[in-house]
Structure 1
Amino acid sequence: MNVQLFIPCFVDQLYPSTAFNMVKVLEKAGCTVSYNTNQTCCGQPAFNAGFREESKQVCAKFVKDFEGSDYIVAPSASCVGFVRNYYTKIFDNSSQHNEVKKLGERLFEFSEFLVNVLKIENLGASLPGLATYHDSCAGLRECKIKEEPRKLLANVKGLELAEMNDVETCCGFGGTFAVKFEPISVAMGDQKADNAQATGAQYLISTDLSCLMHIDGVMKNKGLDIKTMHIADVLASGW
């Protein structure tokens, strides 16, 4: 199966190892992976900041960069959710409407692609220890992802999963929300960190590095010894 990679801005700039680990896992699953080096942003930051016309220009480039019929896989439910749920509105009543609709049907977050498209739940990964999982808002509410990551983590050898309290509550990042409403954002992250610590977990795992970046900053400030890991990094462990 041919798969195109979409690597979000912050993954490219701050967490490139996660992108490489996603390639590693997809290739082990039998996929032929390609990466269009012309790709940039999905347009979500500008859109959420209110720059709708500027965002549309970026979105139009995204549509062009991912032409074709291949599946598109990304290590970010946030970006996937934006393309799926907002591109049809951005390009409503335009010549690109149908193309955009089909694009959304080809685009998947990493864990849902493995479980729902490839029908794979065991990648032979190994990571001894206790972990807890954070449901990102985009993953849970925009992409309807809940069981897929947990099915994958249940098959990681040596890993035990403990659910934290209020697991579906926002961590407080929210992109520009963390900048515009810093005190609220920090308080929400603080609550999430405390709930993670209460499980006794050594690892905090999620589908979204944006959430993990925020929570990790809060936990380091609190002096908590919990390692944050993207699910791609977990599934690439031990082999």
Structure 2
Amino acid sequence: MKIALFVTCLADTLFPDVGKATVALLERLGHDVEFPSAQTCCGQMHTNTGYQREALPLVRHHVKVFEPYDAVVAPSGSCVGSVRHQHAMVAAAAGDEALAARAEAVAARTYELSELLVDVLGVEDVGAYYPHRVTYHPTCHSLRMLRVDDKPLRLLRHVRGMTLMPLPEADQCCGFGGTFALKNADTSTAMLADKMRNVLDTGAEVVSAGDSSCLMHIGGGLSRLRSGTRTVHLAEILASTS
């Protein structure tokens, strides 16, 4: 299968090891993965803040870059959610029905990592080894928009050496929400405090998730508490073999 890595802005600029782990994992499973170097921002930031006209060129470019591939994978429920639920809408709102149809076709082949592994490749045991106590935070976009359900947990349960610690109130938002954390700082901080308390109550060494943005938010809070609990992306755990 010809798979393209849609690395996302955050992974590309701040968390490159997440993109590298995604590639390493898929290649270990026997798949060819390409990184289209022409890729840019998918336009989620623009669309979410009401700048659909400015998002249109980004949607058009994204479709052009990723059309040739059998599947597109991103280590981010948030960005996959944008591709699936916003790209065709932005194109249609601009009156470009041809682009909207092409965007829908690309969106149908675009997957969050756990979706690709479980639903498309049909694998739950990826041969990972990670000897730590881990709790998993299901991010809002993956849980509510993509509805990945328990796919990440099914993958984590097969990781050798790992103890999976149930997270209380797991479905509650961590408070990040992109610009929400900036525009509603007090509310965001209160939500983060609840999430951190639940994480620490598990006794886990590591909190994992499928979105680097949420992990950045949670990790920042945990580091300020000097808790010793660290954040590790799902892709990095699944890619680990030693």
- TM-score normalised over the length of structure 2: 0.96
| Number of the residue aligned with 2:206 | 203
Secondary structure of the 1:108 match is strand
Query: Percentage identity across aligned positions?
Result: 38
User: In 2, Cα distance between the equivalents of 1:38 and 1:208?
Assistant: 22
User: In 2, Cα distance between the equivalents of 1:130 and 1:69?
Assistant: 37
Specify the code of the residue in structure 2 equivalent to 1:97.
A
| Number of the residue aligned with 1:187 | 190
Specify the code of the residue in structure 1 equivalent to 2:14.
L
| Number of the residue aligned with 1:23 | 23
Question: 1:127–1:157: 8 Å Cα contact kept in structure 2?
Answer: yes
Residue by residue over 1:133-177, the C-alpha shift from the partner in whole angstroms, topping out at 9 and shown as x without a partner, is 001000001110121111110011111112111100100111111
Specify the code of the residue in structure 2 equivalent to 1:80.
V
Gaps of 5+ in 2: none
Q: Does 1:116 align with 2:153?
A: no
| Number of the residue aligned with 2:70 | 70
Q: Does 1:147 align with 2:141?
A: no
User: In 1, Cα distance between the equivalents of 2:107 and 2:241?
Assistant: 33
Q: Does 1:12 align with 2:12?
A: yes
Secondary structure of the 1:3 match is strand
| Number of the residue aligned with 1:135 | 138
Question: 1:38–1:65: 8 Å Cα contact kept in structure 2?
Answer: yes
Specify the code of the residue in structure 2 equivalent to 1:141.
R
User: In 2, Cα distance between the equivalents of 1:56 and 1:180?
Assistant: 25
| Number of the residue aligned with 1:177 | 180
| Number of the residue aligned with 2:59 | 59
Residue by residue over 1:176-232, the C-alpha shift from the partner in whole angstroms, topping out at 9 and shown as x without a partner, is 111111111111111101100001111101100100000000111122111111111
Secondary structure of the 1:128 match is coil
| Number of the residue aligned with 2:89 | 89
User: In 2, Cα distance between the equivalents of 1:234 and 1:195?
Assistant: 21
Specify the code of the residue in structure 2 equivalent to 1:54.
E
- 1:130 is displaced (CA, Å) by 1.4
User: In 1, Cα distance between the equivalents of 2:100 and 2:56?
Assistant: 13
Q: Does 1:102 align with 2:105?
A: yes
Gaps of 5+ in 1: none
Give 4+ residue runs of structure 1 displaced > 4 Å after superposition: none
| Alignment: residue pair count | 239
User: In 1, Cα distance between the equivalents of 2:157 and 2:109?
Assistant: 27
| Number of the residue aligned with 1:42 | 42
What RMSD over aligned residues (CA atoms) do the two structures have, in Å? 1.1
